[in-house]
Structure 1
């Protein structure tokens, strides 16, 4: 980088970030003291309510994913049942079995009361639908994590912007106080000259107007400062009763401050990628509705039969009763519902792919414009600062000339007006620059190091 470009970085972004250790925000009663930007960022990450909500949603998605994997493990259920056979089933048998040949005898088997106790174990060994659903929930877990990261990135951007906006506004108030003193001196001097007949009434009125204009600018900057502090409180999760003190003062650096011109991948693109992967899984899930499902079941228990409503814990009264079973289900016809579901899921997948491609292009264009605007913003803010300093010198010279009677009052007012325009232009350029810087800062994952 040549000396010209390095020179343009003078004064810009006095951030004190490189190599700065964050001591942390101090809580003194109902007052929060911020020593540096890192204090505001750390406090916001710990206390921002919306960020806590995203973290809770991420934990919920993690739990749902764990639940979805339960189909891989067997399930065991203990059961006990009692049954009163009000009417026993009747079964016809040949009479030869009971010594009555040639006849058909109706007999009833069983006893009036039966009891069953045992454990049923089942295991699904083939279930493509649940497998796809589990993978979808795993993606949902990743999506929840990405969404939390995106919000943290946006939170960082907002905290950085309003932190430096507050510093700039406070610096502007300091300048306004000095301007107000100067405007008041001109007003006082004009009153004295008016009393001696050296200036006319319109000139005296202009001095009063000039004083009021500076006072209006001071009020506007006070509003800007209060608004920035209020926004910081909101993002930091503070109540309106908490006083926020910022120890850091905005000052112009006597060296350049370079921001790496490489940005981390836009989190929204990662989100679109996961959503495309999710849509592909849904296509596979709908196809899995055609696949068979196989479940094995085992029952291990005992039975007891009684003629009356009695129950015995005596082991001799119980008989073993166990079985093994397999259940295989194969979809044959579902009224074309599965076919239409697959068709719809393919359309969703195509839409997700187009969205990803479009958002990727837009993200690259936005990033390219952001970096270019930031580079130009460095030039603009440096030039605006140079002009502001030059107009400040002109104003001081004009004030001396007016005091000595060399410069007319209307000529001084023109210089003062140009000075105020340069001041507003400089502060506006700084605000725009920090807006761009805040976005760049939030896209650097190692900003806290």
Structure 2
């Protein structure tokens, strides 16, 4: 019985381990998973939530501040007040009297409201723009995240394809080496041919191991961006995208998410300048108190309504800044400079972004043409390798000629994979903007 339980637990753990594998059939599947599981992207959302709460806090000036309080006071020494003696039957004299009782209590509600506070108004606008800025920042972060993922995704598929091709190449190199060694034993070729075949075989094996290393590295980079654990299996079941000049042109979108951050920073700096300028504007406040009080000669407290006297008032205040030691003026001057810097930076980024976009699309079209040519060269070289093998087997091609064709094939293959990788890198940047 105990043994059965252990086996069941082991199978359960194995089942859980196997179910933890993540398989993605397309780039969009990888994107969707990353947007939900990438830790940095989740932090970006937390910062948006925080900015939303800061915005609600900044809007609190729209509502009155209401507080309730209960106070008690022990008048240890009641101040004496000079009064005319006629009041107490001592004409011609000034008499000092004490007014009040030793203990007094009060309870009530205080209400304070600022109907006109321009600094608070602009702070509210700043908080609103800050929320938009955090949202735009997350959007641009997701664009960069998608770009990085697309580049690693295409690189991983390219490396995966290179490993598959490398395995086939190694089998061909082994066959060539075996044939060369056999011909050497027959005395039809010399040691130079054997060495060349061995060098080719070593080169192919080195390329295969390098491709495996790159494949594992790209897969691990994807795990980092996807929020996967190091031991969690990752499988990409998709294929490399085809390259064709006859297909639809990719939608060339400007880098708007990048520019939106600078636009919002410029807008925020404008509100900062207005807030600094509002320091010279008067503030209007309304305050009121609604409560009751009672006095006692000894340390006692009564809840009877007859012992409580009303104490209510409403007041209006106007605060006019006269002199602040030039701090407000200096703050406003600095804010205006920040505004000019932000506006200049925004315009400069628009100019540079247009140039960078033009360069990107030019590199995309150029890399696509180069990749197409490289793909065609690789296909022809692969066909030549097949033909060379048949001619060699028929005795129509020398071993040196066969080895030369194989060398040309390896060179074309390497160039094809490099060109394909460069094209997919540019494609990833464009795809990430959608």
Fold-level similarity (TM above 0.5): yes
Match for 1:90 among 80, 95, 100? 80
- Residue segments in structure 1 that go unaligned for 5+ positions in a row: 1-26, 445-449
1:267-346 alignment, distance < 5 Å: 267-346=257-336
- 1:106 is displaced (CA, Å) by 0.7
Which residue number in structure 1 is paired with residue 114 of structure 2? 124
1:71-110 Cα offsets, whole Å, 9 max, x none, are 1101110000000000011001111111111111110000
Select the structure that is richer in helix: 2
- Determine if the alignment matches structure 1 residue 230 to structure 2 residue 253: no
Rounded Cα–Cα distance in structure 2 between residues aligned with 1:400 and 1:206: 20
Rounded Cα–Cα distance in structure 1 between residues aligned with 2:351 and 2:392: 59
Contact kept in structure 1, 2:154 and 2:425, CA below 8 Å = no
Rounded Cα–Cα distance in structure 2 between residues aligned with 1:275 and 1:302: 51
Which residue number in structure 1 is paired with residue 234 of structure 2? 244
- 1:342 is displaced (CA, Å) by 1.6
Rounded Cα–Cα distance in structure 2 between residues aligned with 1:197 and 1:265: 66
1:56-81 Cα offsets, whole Å, 9 max, x none, are 10110011001100011011100000
- Determine if the alignment matches structure 1 residue 56 to structure 2 residue 32: no
Q: Over the residues paired in the alignment, what is the CA RMSD in angstroms?
A: 1.7
1:186-205 alignment, distance < 5 Å: 186-205=176-195
- SS for the counterpart of 1:260 is coil
- Determine if the alignment matches structure 1 residue 159 to structure 2 residue 184: no
Which residue number in structure 1 is paired with residue 428 of structure 2? 438
1:277-304 Cα offsets, whole Å, 9 max, x none, are 1111111111100001111111000101
Rounded Cα–Cα distance in structure 2 between residues aligned with 1:252 and 1:119: 74
1:95-106 alignment, distance < 5 Å: 95-106=85-96
- 1:401 is displaced (CA, Å) by 3.0
TM-score by length of 2: 0.93
Which residue number in structure 2 is paired with residue 175 of structure 1? 165
- 1:443 is displaced (CA, Å) by 1.1
CA change 1:433–1:253 in 2 (3 A) is closer
1:373-408 Cα offsets, whole Å, 9 max, x none, are 111222111110110111112222222333344333
TM-score by length of 1: 0.90
Query: Mean Cα displacement is larger for which, 30-39 or 311-320?
Result: 30-39
- Structure 1 residue ranges, 4+ long, deviating more than 4 angstroms after superposition: 251-256
- Determine if the alignment matches structure 1 residue 74 to structure 2 residue 68: no
Which residue number in structure 1 is paired with residue 373 of structure 2? 383
- Residue segments in structure 2 that go unaligned for 5+ positions in a row: 1-16
Contact kept in structure 1, 2:41 and 2:138, CA below 8 Å = yes
1:306-364 Cα offsets, whole Å, 9 max, x none, are 01111111111111111111121110111222222222111111111221111111100
1:11-30 alignment, distance < 5 Å: 29-30=19-20
Which residue number in structure 1 is paired with residue 389 of structure 2? 399
Contact kept in structure 1, 2:243 and 2:372, CA below 8 Å = no
Contact kept in structure 1, 2:289 and 2:313, CA below 8 Å = yes
